[in-house]
């Protein structure tokens, strides 16, 4: 009979404790390895930023005025995105977001958030910090933010047509912003990074720009006009100190460029500008030696060309000298001067002044003029007083400057000389008229403002020696000119003894006002508007 087995040996308490500790350490080790593996695998935001189609942005240089005052700059802004796979309740997320972003498309939002096959989708880019904080405070899983570069325009709509606008990715699509992309260059970035380039310095003066815009808006309201445009430029360099089109354009709202009423009237539109064209006609006659300021023109009767009859608004009833044709704005006198010169010379002179071509500036295209298909006697006569040929106001202002600055052609520019964005180039010294002709023209302009019978007398401002010319052009509607629908314009220069600045103002379809005695002609609306602009802007000009 065998002896009984000894009892099994029990582990000591110390050994049991050690085994438990080893198991715990092993568990933590496994967990740590898993965490490291998950991190290196690229889950979450790191993976999204690399493998998902994140939109690039672009860092842009600042835009400043001629004195260095800020017009446009880049700022960091939060952009909202979602990972639909992490959204717990699509309806809750959509409703709470819509309460903060009331303009968001809720149907599209729900569809986007419900698509769990997508791991990244932009919901709103370029949010204000206040809105971003409200969304953050919702605490909704699956929503997050990225910092991006966003264009900011601290002056609002000021100079909006000139500045242009950018896309959601900060690419320039119009105006100076597009010029920057095409000429200066922008830097492609991910996230938010300021541009290293020097600011683009414009020729604009924001004080002068504000005065111009403010007076144009006031004039549009006072005369119940459909719109307005204005330009102030240096007659010797072509630098534009201010240019405005009413209704205004907000550069922060690119969609406004699609509104027909907001089309830039200064550069991108063309108009029959009326009797301010008599400056061109008389300049041509004087420079050709076909007439002097004292040459007498018979304007006693209307001028008939075939079935067309050309009349004066206020017939003089007697022959007029060339200087009187200008100051009394005689259509018949201007037409006779142009017919004496001939169609070929008229066209050649207009072409020399740049009025038969379009072009472009840093702010965009200059519209091609609408030229008569047939240029016979009738067209020669009507173009002489600003009908039948439609040009951009900017082109006309530059042509006026070329005539009054001593006779040297200038090209308009929106970038200040010396800025890297405007590389030095050969200055056009092409002479368009003699210095003698230029001097006579400035004298005529001044007389038209100072004489009691001058059409520009309401443009006078004490201390500025203003010279100018009115233009009231009937607008063609359905192929017929309407006497009650006009384009009222006034072109001015100062000081007239040595022209430094040219100012052009245009009012689209102004209506009678209490202070116009029932009139809609330029002498009653555009001329006093120019006077108010010069009184405000003059002290700010160099």
Residues marked as catalytic: 275
For the record, the structure tokens of 363 come out as 């702010």
On whether the CB atoms of residues 81 and 146 are closer than 8 A, the answer is yes
Contact present, 400 and 279 (Cβ < 8 Å): yes
Q: With beta carbons less than 8 A apart as the criterion, state whether 78 and 146 touch.
A: yes
The H-assigned helical ranges of 374-466 are: 377-383, 393-404, 435-450
* Assigned token pair, 380: 């020669």
| 523 Cβ neighbours under 8 A, 6+ residues apart | 455, 456, 457, 458, 470, 472
CA distance 373 to 377: 13
C-alpha 213/C-alpha 505 separation (Å) is 11
Name the residue with tokens 């996230």.
191
Cis peptide before 370 (omega within 30 of 0): no
Q: Please give the radius of gyration of the chain, using alpha carbons only, rounded to the nearest integer.
A: 35
Cβ within 8 Å of residue 211, ≥6 positions away: 242, 533, 536, 537, 540
Residue 219 parent element (H or E) = helix 206-222
Q: Is the peptide bond before 493 cis (omega within 30 degrees of 0)?
A: no
Alpha carbon distance 395, 414 (integer Å): 14
Tokens of 203: 């020729």
Which sign, positive or negative, has the C-alpha torsion 406, 409, 413, 415? negative
> How far apart are alpha carbons 204 and 69 in whole angstroms?
10
Beta strands 63-64 and 200-201: pairing type?
A: parallel
């Amino acid at each position: 009979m065998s002896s009984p087995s000894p009892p099994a040996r029990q582990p000591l308490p110390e050994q049991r404790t050690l085994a438990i500790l080893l198991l715990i350490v092993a568990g933590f080790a496994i967990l740590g390895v898993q965490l490291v593996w998950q991190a290196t695998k690229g889950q979450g935001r790191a993976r999204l930023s690399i493998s998902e189609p994140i939109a690039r942005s672009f860092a842009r240089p600042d835009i400043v005025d001629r004195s260095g005052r800020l017009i446009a700059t880049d700022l960091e802004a939060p952009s909202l995105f979602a990972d639909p796979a992490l959204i717990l309740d699509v309806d809750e997320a959509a409703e709470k977001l819509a309460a903060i972003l009331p303009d968001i498309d809720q149907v599209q939002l729900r569809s986007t958030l419900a698509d769990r096959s997508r791991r990244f989708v932009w919901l709103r880019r370029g949010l204000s910090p206040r809105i971003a904080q409200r969304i953050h405070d919702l605490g909704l899983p699956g929503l997050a933010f990225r910092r991006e570069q966003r264009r900011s325009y601290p002056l609002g709509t000021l100079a909006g047509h000139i500045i242009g606008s950018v896309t959601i990715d900060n690419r320039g699509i119009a105006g100076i912003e597009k010029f920057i992309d095409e000429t200066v260059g922008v830097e492609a970035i991910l996230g938010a990074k300021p541009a290293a380039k020097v600011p683009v310095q414009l020729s604009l003066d924001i004080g002068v720009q504000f005065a111009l815009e403010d007076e144009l808006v006031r004039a549009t309201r006072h005369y119940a006009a459909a719109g307005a445009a204005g330009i102030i430029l240096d007659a010797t360099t072509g630098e534009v100190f201010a240019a405005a089109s009413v209704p205004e354009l907000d550069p922060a709202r690119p969609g406004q460029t699609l509104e027909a009423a907001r089309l830039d009237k200064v550069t991108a539109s063309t108009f029959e500008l009326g009797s301010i064209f008599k400056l061109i006609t008389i300049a041509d006659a004087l420079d050709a030696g076909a007439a002097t300021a004292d040459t007498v023109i018979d304007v006693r009767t209307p001028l008939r060309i075939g079935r067309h009859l050309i009349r004066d608004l206020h017939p003089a009833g007697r022959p007029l000298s060339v200087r009187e044709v200008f100051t009394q704005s005689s259509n018949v006198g201007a037409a006779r001067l142009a017919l004496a010169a001939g169609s070929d010379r008229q066209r050649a002179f207009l072409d020399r002044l740049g009025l038969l071509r379009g072009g472009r500036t840093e702010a965009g295209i200059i519209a091609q003029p609408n030229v008569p298909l047939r240029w016979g006697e009738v067209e020669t006569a009507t173009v002489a007083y600003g009908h039948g040929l439609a040009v951009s106001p900017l082109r006309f202002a530059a042509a006026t400057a070329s005539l009054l600055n001593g006779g040297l052609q200038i090209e308009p520019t929106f970038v200040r000389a010396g800025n890297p964005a405007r590389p030095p180039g050969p200055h056009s010294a092409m002479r368009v008229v003699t210095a003698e002709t230029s001097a006579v023209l400035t004298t005529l302009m001044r007389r038209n403002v100072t004489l009691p019978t001058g059409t520009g007398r309401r443009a006078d401002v004490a201390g500025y020696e203003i010279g100018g010319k009115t233009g009231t052009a009937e607008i063609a509607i359905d192929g017929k000119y309407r006497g009650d629908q006009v384009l009222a314009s006034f072109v001015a220069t100062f000081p007239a003894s040595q022209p430094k600045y040219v100012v052009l103002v245009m009012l689209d379809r102004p209506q009678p006002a209490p202070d116009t005695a029932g009139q809609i002609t330029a002498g009653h609306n555009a001329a006093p508007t120019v006077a108010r602009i010069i009184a405000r802007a003059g002290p700010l000009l160099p």
